[in-house]
């Protein structure tokens, strides 16, 4: 470790979703406002909102969100009020995938033809008797690196009966659930994907990812992402493991007109199948025949490198894969570098969900060489 590391954890106990959002927004107001005022990405989202066609799309997403998940929309409103920013501008962050990876190219001609191969993640899933792990590199841009936090949320009614309880790693101004997280039943990590088209009348992706934190089974997660009758607005890779069982899977979501396709690949539990009991996922479709924005070169390079390495059998093996920097073009553990496909992207954090031990380890430096994680939290 070359410098100090930090990762604040905010504990929230609230009666409703609005109060959850307000507490997060007011606590991290400085980071949220700074990010929204300085981020080049957010400037592009605002540019999109100021375009008449772009605004029409955003209003459609707002309408679908209010119809399908009014409680989560109130959470966004609470965060906006707490951070003292406009709701419409904070909502732009919640549809950043739809805007950046799809609609920006549709509305502004100069963006057409570019390949999305920047922000993303690498995941290692291991489903062995002695080692059940989901390991995850969260890769994003430099401007969020020093503004990330973890929230531990409990929503309880007047009789203190728990309605929702979860832990989520979060970016400034984004809904919880947009990164990795867990509740009492499941651990969840994400891989952004980039289909060419979005479902314009679907539920915004970030809202559905937030809804997963209230799910207790893989089947519930699948139903949540299908989000009938609207469908999901955009694509996503979702890695899920049952805490109190042996189920583990890689789920992919692909948007269709007014609906979406959800496909699940289960990772066999060791001893129950001749198939491999581990799996790698990056930022391209592996289970669905999808039309994507480009060849996803960097993601495929990360996958090739992972497959070259030793078969993961222990937590050290998982950390060695996620910390690997051998590839000069697109390493698995990413640091800003002019020669990389995505020169401004870095690994913001590495999460190791050690399911048998019921511990979440979070590294802010390379897990392959770090002596200890920045933070360890027990499961709920």
Report pLDDT for 125.
Answer: 98
Report pLDDT for 300.
Answer: 95
Q: In the chain, how many domains are there?
A: 1
Please indicate, yes or no, if residue 92 is contained in any of the structural domains: yes
Q: Which of 142, 132, 100, 121 is nearest to 190 (CA)?
A: 121
Residue 156 has φ and ψ, to the nearest 5°, of: -130, 150
**147-164 pLDDT, tens digit each:** 999 999 999 999 999 999
Report pLDDT for 91.
Answer: 98
**218-244 pLDDT, tens digit each:** 999 999 999 999 999 999 999 999 999
**194-220 pLDDT, tens digit each:** 999 999 999 999 999 999 999 999 999
Residue 77's domain comprises 9-111
Q: What's the whole-model pTM score?
A: 0.96
Report pLDDT for 2.
Answer: 55
Q: What percent of the chain shows pLDDT beyond 70? A: 97
Q: What percent of the chain shows pLDDT beyond 90? A: 88
Please indicate, yes or no, if residue 77 is contained in any of the structural domains: yes
Please indicate, yes or no, if residue 329 is contained in any of the structural domains: no
Task: Report d(CA 41, CA 218) in Å as an integer.
Answer: 33
**302-318 pLDDT, tens digit each:** 999 999 999 999 999 99
Please indicate, yes or no, if residue 98 is contained in any of the structural domains: yes
Please indicate, yes or no, if residue 178 is contained in any of the structural domains: no
The whole-number average pLDDT for the span 175-190 is 98
Please indicate, yes or no, if residue 73 is contained in any of the structural domains: yes
Report pLDDT for 114.
Answer: 45
**43-76 pLDDT, tens digit each:** 999 999 999 999 999 999 999 999 999 999 999 9
Helix (H, G, I), strand (E, B) or coil at 154: strand
Any residues with CB less than 8 A from the CB of 36 and at least 6 apart, and which? 42, 85, 89, 90, 93, 172, 173
């Amino acid at each position: 470790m070359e410098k100090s590391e930090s990762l604040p954890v905010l504990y929230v106990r609230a009666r409703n979703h609005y109060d959850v959002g307000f507490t997060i927004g007011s606590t991290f107001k400085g980071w949220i406002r700074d990010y929204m005022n300085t981020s080049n990405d957010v400037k592009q989202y605002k540019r999109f909102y100021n375009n008449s066609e772009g605004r029409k799309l955003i209003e459609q997403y707002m309408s679908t969100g209010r119809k399908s998940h009014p409680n989560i929309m109130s959470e966004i409103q609470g965060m906006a009020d707490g951070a003292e920013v406009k709701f419409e501008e904070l909502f732009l962050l919640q549809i950043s995938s739809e805007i950046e990876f799809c609609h920006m190219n549709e509305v502004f001609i100069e963006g057409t033809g570019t390949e999305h191969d920047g922000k993303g993640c690498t995941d290692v899933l291991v489903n062995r008797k002695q080692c059940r792990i989901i390991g995850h590199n969260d890769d994003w841009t430099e401007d969020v690196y020093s503004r990330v936090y973890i929230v531990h949320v409990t929503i309880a009614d007047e009789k203190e009966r728990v309605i929702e309880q979860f832990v989520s790693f979060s970016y400034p101004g984004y809904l919880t659930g947009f990164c990795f997280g867990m509740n009492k039943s499941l651990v969840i990590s994400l891989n952004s994907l980039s289909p060419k088209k979005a479902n314009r009348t679907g539920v915004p992706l970030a809202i559905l990812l937030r809804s997963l934190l209230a799910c207790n089974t893989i089947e519930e997660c699948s139903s949540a992402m299908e989000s009938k009758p609207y469908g999901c607005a955009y694509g996503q890779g979702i890695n899920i493991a049952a805490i109190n069982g042996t189920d583990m899977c890689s789920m992919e979501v692909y948007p269709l007109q007014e609906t979406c396709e959800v496909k699940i690949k289960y990772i066999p539990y060791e001893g129950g199948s001749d198939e491999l009991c581990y799996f790698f996922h990056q930022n391209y479709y592996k289970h669905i025949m999808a039309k994507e924005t480009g060849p996803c070169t960097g993601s495929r390079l990360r996958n090739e490198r992972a497959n070259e390495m030793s078969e993961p059998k222990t937590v050290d093996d998982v950390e060695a894969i996620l910390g690997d920097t051998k590839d000069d073009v697109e390493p698995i553990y990413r640091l800003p570098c002019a020669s990389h496909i995505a020169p401004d992207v870095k690994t913001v954090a590495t999460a190791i969900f050690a399911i048998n031990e019921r511990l979440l380890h979070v590294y802010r430096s390379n897990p392959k060489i770090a002596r200890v994680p920045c933070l360890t939290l027990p499961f709920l």
